[in-house]
Amino acid sequence: MNRIQQAEEALKKAGKKVNRRYRMGYHMMPRANWINDPNGLIQYKGEYHVFYQHHPYDENWGPMHWGHLKSKDLIHWEHLPVALAPGDEFDESGCFSGSAVEYNGDLALIYTGHNMIDEEKDDFYQTQNIAVSKDGIVFEKLKENPVIAEPPEDSARHFRDPKVWKHRENWYMVVGNSSKENVGRVILYRSPNFVDWEYVGVLAQSDGNLGFMWECPDFFELDGKHILLISPQGIEADGESYQNLYQTGYLIGDYDEETNEFVHGSFKELDHGHDFYAVQTLLDDKGRRIAIGWMDMWESEMPTKADGWCGALTLPRELTLKDGHKILMNPVEETKLLRGSEHHECDNQSISGSYFIKTAEKLLEVVAVFDLTICSAETVGLKIRGIEQEETTIKYSLIDQKLTLDCSKSGKARDGVRNVRLEADEKLTLHLFLDRSSIEVFANHGEATMTSRIYPKEGRAGIELFSEKGNVRVEEFTYWTLKDIWKGDEAK
């Protein structure tokens, strides 16, 4: 049996033991066992492919494989066989994160080979490699691997997560890296033929405050600007910023391809919830820049390990640029395909205190529009998935202009609260997506987003609208029950 078949057998067995209590209804997740970063996002021959870091043999991280999902509409996903398994001389200990491109009509994956030298001393080296597929399912690693055997001389050993694209005659690759002095940075390579890569130089690096290693870079144009997405490790928490162990964020700037100069502004976090990391993007045939992140965080509590699986990916989100200086993130339009029945409550009514909406549904989309010009309350918001002993709260303070996601009563007791500044003057629109173990908040059409995993006990349902210390006019409150895209699959 080859390594892919072995992994498939293991997943089949493990899949039978998975406990459903926190299984996602419409998010990407593994059949069983561990996943982390999304990899190789691409629209290939009209279909969307999402690969991901995967350990098919255990609910904990281990030798990385690439799992594989495919969809025609970004909503209904189908599991395909494991695409990459480690164990060759250039990827002995893992096939780490990377990207995908169409190359001569084939689907090509560019990934990092992780090679352990001494596990106890955490001594390793990392290489960049390519695997190609004619049918988009079975991948063959190139005999030329590694296509980049080592990082530049002034580099530390962290050298991973290649993102590749084509521009005019050449291929380009950004790689996450750390300098000899342990400064996080992104370096750039160029290739005329996709196999021979020449080091171009450093594209951007930490000014000393942005960590020791920049993971999972992505570099693209958005509305006339260049965006460098990065997931830095080692940024110190600062007030309400950088609260997670690691962050994902972006630099906006202008890029001169002649000189390789990227002149950019300061680092901004992309999402302010607990569980959002290692984001990657693709450009689709409608011209949309679509981002997907890992919906968990390293070293956080992950209760689904006890259920035989661990890790999920966010909804696909469209990125747009606001006034040239801020990225807005909103769920792709196709999420509407998930909608079942539509319900309206207290539209154009004023509420004071709390207004309870009884529903036993756990898969929900919610839109709440508060009119802040007809509001005497200091705080307005929503509670979901059980009230009081157990609940998840999203609230907006008109006084502090702050949006808060409080998950401390929903399985994140240690570190449950996240805040983000939001200047909502006239209206506050909260657009939520609830799954069995996640919440995604899009506030004021992507001005702020907060993404977290939640782990309510069985039977916790319901929504409460509330205002504190006064009343507020609710312009709209709509919720939809959402479809469970995995339902048939789970029965198999």
- Catalytic residues, by residue number, are 37
Position 160 contacts ligand FRU (CB under 6 A)? yes
Q: What's the chain look like in SS3?
A: CCHHHHHHHHHHHHHHCCCCCCCCCCCCCCCCEEEEEEEEEEEECCEEEEEEEEECCCCCCCCCEEEEEEECCCCCEEEEEEEECCCCCCCCCEEEEEEEEEECCEEEEEEEEEEEEECCCCEEEEEEEEEEECCCCCCEECCCCCCECCCCCCEEEEEEEEEEEEECCEEEEEEEEEECCCCEEEEEEEECCCCCCEEEEEEEECCCCCCCEEEEEEEEEECCEEEEEEEEECCCCECCECCCCECCEEEEEEEECCCCEEEECCCEECCCCCCCEEEEEEECCCCCEEEEEECCCCCCCCHHHHHCEECCECCCEEEEEECCCEEEEEECHHHHHHEEEEEECCCCEEEEEEEEECCCCCCEEEEEEEEEEEECCCEEEEEECCCCCCEEEEEEECCCCEEEEEEEECCCCCCCEEEEECCCCCEEEEEEEEECCEEEEEECCCCEEEEEECCCCCCCCCEEEEEEEEEEEEEEEEEEEECCCCHHHHHC
In the complex with ligand FRU, the residue whose CB is nearer, 278 or 405, is 278
In the complex with ligand FRU, the residue whose CB is nearer, 35 or 282, is 35
Closest separation in Å from C-beta 210 to ligand FRU? 16
Residues 27-56 touching ligand FRU, rule: CB under 6 A, are 36-37, 53
In the complex with ligand FRU, the residue whose CB is nearer, 136 or 217, is 217
Closest separation in Å from C-beta 189 to ligand FRU? 17
Pick from 112, 128, 145, 379 the residue near ligand FRU by CB under 6 A.
112
Q: Which amino acid is at 43?
A: Q
Residues 270-289 touching ligand FRU, rule: CB under 6 A, are 277-278
Could you give the C-alpha distances from 204 to 128, 155, 191, 259, 268, in angstroms and in order? Answer: 20, 14, 20, 13, 15
Kindly state the number of chain residues that form the binding site for ligand FRU, as judged by CB under 6 A. 13
In the complex with ligand FRU, the residue whose CB is nearer, 64 or 82, is 64
Closest separation in Å from C-beta 161 to ligand FRU? 5
In the complex with ligand FRU, the residue whose CB is nearer, 164 or 368, is 164
Q: Which pair of structure tokens corresponds to residue 398?
A: 């008109």
Query: Would you call 70 exposed, middle or buried from its count of C-beta atoms within 10 A (0-12, 13-18, 19+)?
Result: middle
In the complex with ligand FRU, the residue whose CB is nearer, 53 or 444, is 53
In the complex with ligand FRU, the residue whose CB is nearer, 26 or 139, is 139
Position 64 contacts ligand FRU (CB under 6 A)? yes
Position 178 contacts ligand FRU (CB under 6 A)? no
In the complex with ligand FRU, the residue whose CB is nearer, 217 or 386, is 217
Give how far the C-alpha of residue 30 lies from the chain's centroid of Cα atoms, to the nearest Å: 15
Residues 82-111 touching ligand FRU, rule: CB under 6 A, are 96-97
Closest separation in Å from C-beta 28 to ligand FRU? 16
Closest separation in Å from C-beta 72 to ligand FRU? 28
Closest separation in Å from C-beta 356 to ligand FRU? 40
Which residue minimizes CB distance to ligand FRU? 96
Closest separation in Å from C-beta 95 to ligand FRU? 9
Residues 212-271 touching ligand FRU, rule: CB under 6 A, are 215-216
In the complex with ligand FRU, the residue whose CB is nearer, 161 or 345, is 161
Closest separation in Å from C-beta 96 to ligand FRU? 3
Closest separation in Å from C-beta 136 to ligand FRU? 22
Indicate the pairing of strand 140-141 with strand 123-133.
Answer: antiparallel
On the CB side of 221, how many CA atoms lie within 13 Å of its CA? 10
Q: Using CB under 6 A as the criterion, which residues of the chain lie in contact with ligand FRU when the complex forms?
A: 36-37, 53, 64, 96-97, 112, 160-161, 215-216, 277-278
